[in-house]
Structure 1
Amino acid sequence: MRATHNDNYQPARAWFITVLLALFMLINFIDKVVIGLVAVPMMAELKLSPTEFGWIAGSFFWLFSASGVVGGFIANRVSAKWMLLVMAATWSVAQLPIILSSSIAMFVLSRVLLGIGEGPAAPIAYHACYKWFPDRKRALPVSVVNQGAAIGVLMAGVLIPLITVHWGWRANFLVMAIAGAVWVLVWLVFGAEGRVADEAGSTQASGAERRLPYRVLLTDSTVLGVLVMNFMAYWGLALTLTWFPAYLQKGLGFDGLAAGRLFAMLTLVNIVCSLGLSWWSQRLLARGVPARKGRAVLASGALIVGGLMIVAVVLLPMPVLAKVFLLAAGGGITGVMFSLAPAMVGSVSPDTQRGAMLAILNSVASIAGVLSPVITGSLIQSTSGDIASGYEHGFALSGALLAAGGVIGLLWAHPERSIARLARGRPLTPALSPEGRGSKAGG
């Protein structure tokens, strides 16, 4: 007999593990963002063109998606505790080529290895967190886990330029190798596996002892809609991490330290927006609002509004600080997608398949991490004269994709209908998803 969601729910212990997972994501995202924050001195020393740097930065994602999917399927059968430990240890080892070598090939090797180690990181962290909380209490803790990433970027914006000024840009990679090793030791002592079962009414509870074909899960309307939205959100994230610091310096004329502080400000806005919207979503669900409104519509609206704010940077004349503010606010609003996307996919997936589904969600989105830096680099390089306009065209493309993703989410994402259909083993395809068609279950 399955346990109810209250049997193993220990709030204090659950939040302690959430903090450790947030620290895990903090290191994860500093690892990601460091390459963007050392872009200017690195490109100068190695005499790299924007396109060449885009390839080096994008190499992180070459095997990121594949490792994420493989890791997700492993997570269906292996303890999340040990998977997280192995991943963090891999991150530390992956820093060594950049610390010890001047070869561009070794830089690429380092970033590829780091991508392999970090590919499953976010979905496995979410999966581990979900094991400590019932479904309706998951949005806020997962947002806290994500804010570990945001705080990492905030810290990076302040510390990496200082480290670069005093010890050179390579020293940042040594610091990250040490940070990863310390987290491994802490997690080895305090990490644990949650045992909370899912509450009645979810796909997990209604059919968790049986497995659904992945073709059924992956052709579900909500899953497809969330995949698209998450892809667009990740495009914007990869663009920000790779090119925003360089845009502040080369496009808008700020020095390295000022650019780092502005980048940290952008991250602070992201933290406030993402936590606030995630808290709002969780409050809506606690009041009985359907996940269609409390998660899907909220996420879709955030992508549309945030995307339009980013597009406005190119379409409307405005002062420099107004551009920075709009980019920060637009990115901050759309950041809620990284909390609500796994919550929606996790709610419609059987718990025995949730690790794989979250990994697929993250891996499909991370393909944007390969494309976004390179395409934006090409736009920058192809722009003659006004350097800032090349960066801004890249941001405008990102904003348009975000808004389009939000529209698709409004049309396709309907968690209650998906739960009802998947509980019977039937997919809800996009053609059936608009309001008023098909079953009205859960609606």
Structure 2
Amino acid sequence: MSIMNKDNSQKKAGLRWGFIILLLIGAVVNYLDRSTLSIANTTIAEEFGLSQTQMGFLLSAFLWPYALANLPAGWLVDKFGPKKMFAWASGLWSLATVLFAFANSYSLFYALRVVLGVAESPFFTSGLKVTETWFAKKERGLPTSIINTGSQIANAIAPPLLTVLMLTMSWRGMFIIVGAFGILVMIVWVKLYRNPTETERNMIKNEVQQEEIKKEKQATWGELFKQKTTWFMVIGNFGIMFTIWVYLTWLPSYLEIEQGFSLKETGFIASIPFIAGIIGVLLGGIISDSFIRKGVQPVTSRKVPIVGGAILAAASVAPIPFIENTVVCIVLLSVGYFASQLPSGVIWTLAADIAPSNQVSSLGAIQNFGGFLGAALAPIMTGIILDQTGSFNNVFLLGAGFLLIGAISYGVFLKEPKEVIN
């Protein structure tokens, strides 16, 4: 019997980590889809005679729908499960990407970017639901962080990969190839993913944990908004994501305008902070899980990389306006992005630790909604500051301030789940 249990345990471990790897690949494709327009920006603008203002609105067309769609997306994942929602999402976002290759008007470009934002909204909530379903609380940090690492991998490889595709196949061919990748991921997901059996569930959570879940009073989706903890998570993620998206939308321009790098040099140097971000995401999950294994409460364990990362990121970006040495600036930018990514996967895991089991994706989606409000505001505020001052200095100071607000919101005001959501 013990040999059979060992075999079943090994089979379950291999299966669930296989799902995580598939979600990691999905995350890479997800972010490559988002990056296509940024890479083809100048080419499309020149071909269709679009102004910089028009391109600015087009580049932001993804973010607001994505932020808003996160709210119903989380509820839908809780209701229908990650298999159906991830399949639907990856199929729709891939279709929108392919169709973009055949668009010939600004209005259609804009509409397809809106569709892309809506379609991609269930992805990370689906990943969160998978980790909550297949992993015990003490081990969720690493798999969630691995999934979130996909975004950093994509950010690092997007400039060279998508540029090569565009130069060899045109910008339309680039959109078709990236969309095809997503369709392939959808097919594999539908074919392979399943929920754990009852036996597997018992291996993941012992009977005492199961009884606690059964007796737990389940909050409704609307009630989550009435809890102070939900708003502190929204505010905290807003502060952290603001600075992350300053990097994602304005880093190349900063390197060219303020540091004087050529376009070719910028393509290489801009990837350095994103490579550091890959390490940051993984390390955040490892740190939080290690504290849990030492007996520290789950929420406190998640706070360590979230709060510590936000403070370190603020301390790294705040001095940049006062430093003239280019190498030191690049180092600080890299440390800042590394630190800002320490919370990325852990923030999602935190939702699984706090929310009732049937509201995990909903709370994660609400928190992500707050984050992408900050993300959507970042490029707009940066543009306004640049127009008014001609410098990135106040952008870095503002980002540091938001990071500290995020650290305070998570570190001081976020409480253990029994005190907040019952």
TM-score tier by shorter-chain length is 0.7 to 0.9
1:81 Cα deviation after fit: 0.7
Relative to structure 1, the CA distance from residue 71 to residue 20 in structure 2 (aligned partners, 3 Å threshold; closer, same or farther) is same
Q: Distance in 2 between matches of 1:361 and 1:185?
A: 29
One-letter code of the match for 1:77? K
Cα root mean square deviation, aligned: 2.7
1:19 Cα deviation after fit: 0.3
Relative to structure 1, the CA distance from residue 411 to residue 50 in structure 2 (aligned partners, 3 Å threshold; closer, same or farther) is farther
TM-score, normalization: structure 1? 0.84
Structure 1 position 61 matched with structure 2 position 68: no
1:213 Cα deviation after fit: 4.0
Structure 1 position 127 matched with structure 2 position 129: yes
Q: Tell me which of 174, 177, 185 is aligned to 1:175.
A: 177
Q: Tell me which of 238, 249, 262 is aligned to 1:231.
A: 238
One-letter code of the match for 1:337? P
Tell me the equivalent position of 1:401.
Answer: 402
Q: Distance in 1 between matches of 2:89 and 2:240?
A: 24
Q: Distance in 2 between matches of 1:321 and 1:46?
A: 38
Tell me the equivalent position of 1:295.
Answer: 302
Mapped contact 2:220–2:359 kept (Cα < 8 A): no
The residue matched to 2:318 in structure 1 has which SS?
helix
Map Cα deviations across residues 328-386 of structure 1 (whole Å, 9 max, x no partner): 221111112221112222111111121211121212221223222222222233344xx
Tell me the equivalent position of 1:440.
Answer: none
1:134 Cα deviation after fit: 0.7
Q: Distance in 2 between matches of 1:257 and 1:182?
A: 32
Mapped contact 2:66–2:118 kept (Cα < 8 A): yes
Mapped contact 1:269–1:332 kept (Cα < 8 A): yes
Tell me the equivalent position of 1:3.
Answer: none
Tell me the equivalent position of 1:270.
Answer: 277
Q: Tell me which of 159, 162, 165 is aligned to 1:160.
A: 162
Higher helix share goes to which structure? 2
One-letter code of the match for 2:110? V
One-letter code of the match for 1:279? I
One-letter code of the match for 2:12? Q
The residue matched to 2:59 in structure 1 has which SS?
helix
Aligned positions, number: 409
Tell me the equivalent position of 2:16.
Answer: 14
1:214 Cα deviation after fit: 4.3
Structure 1 position 304 matched with structure 2 position 304: no
The residue matched to 2:323 in structure 1 has which SS?
coil
TM-score, normalization: structure 2? 0.88
One-letter code of the match for 2:404? A
Q: Distance in 1 between matches of 2:208 and 2:374?
A: 34
Tell me the equivalent position of 2:103.
Answer: 101
One-letter code of the match for 1:149? S
1:51 Cα deviation after fit: 4.4
Map Cα deviations across residues 281-307 of structure 1 (whole Å, 9 max, x no partner): 111111112234421143112111102
Relative to structure 1, the CA distance from residue 378 to residue 170 in structure 2 (aligned partners, 3 Å threshold; closer, same or farther) is farther
- In structure 2, stretches of 5+ residues that fail to align are 1-7
Relative to structure 1, the CA distance from residue 406 to residue 43 in structure 2 (aligned partners, 3 Å threshold; closer, same or farther) is farther
The residue matched to 2:195 in structure 1 has which SS?
coil
Q: Distance in 1 between matches of 2:144 and 2:299?
A: 19
Mapped contact 1:297–1:409 kept (Cα < 8 A): no
Mapped contact 1:146–1:338 kept (Cα < 8 A): yes
Q: Distance in 2 between matches of 1:290 and 1:368?
A: 29
Structure 1 position 71 matched with structure 2 position 78: no
Identity among equivalent positions (%) equals 21
1:89 Cα deviation after fit: 0.8
The residue matched to 1:95 in structure 2 has which SS?
helix
1:224 Cα deviation after fit: 2.9
Q: Distance in 2 between matches of 1:376 and 1:171?
A: 32
Q: Distance in 2 between matches of 1:109 and 1:205?
A: 46
Q: Distance in 2 between matches of 1:263 and 1:37?
A: 13
One-letter code of the match for 1:397? L
Q: Tell me which of 165, 190, 199 is aligned to 1:188.
A: 190
Tell me the equivalent position of 2:32.
Answer: 30
